[in-house]
Amino acid sequence: MSENTRILSFAFRFLSRRDFSKRELEEKLKEKFGEREVEEVIRYLEKKGLIDDKRLAKKIMDKYMEKGKGYY
């Protein structure tokens, strides 16, 4: 199993529980793996649409709006 495959496996394990921002996932993966390899995997996940900070922000915003906790 290549290093990138191992990193990807860890990333999928995290992402199966909840959405992570790019930075959150990157920090978690860098605790166990090298920076260069983690960055390659992060780019791959972004390219495939598996991590998307804009989508995550919208999801969080929608959640708070539903609860009546908005800006106004």
Query: Are the C-beta atoms of 25 and 15 separated by less than 8 Å?
Result: yes
The pTM score is 0.81
- The first and second tokens of residue 58, run together, are 């919208």
- Determine the pLDDT at residue 70: 62
- Determine the pLDDT at residue 62: 87
Structural domain spans, the chain: 3-66
- Determine the pLDDT at residue 71: 62
> How many other CB atoms sit within 10 Å of the CB of residue 42?
20
Gap between the Cα atoms of 59 and 72, Å rounded: 18
Which residue carries 């990333």 as its tokens? 11
Q: Which amino acid is at 53?
A: D
pLDDT in tens, the chain (72 residues): 789 999 999 999 999 999 999 999 999 999 999 999 999 999 999 999 999 999 999 998 888 888 876 665
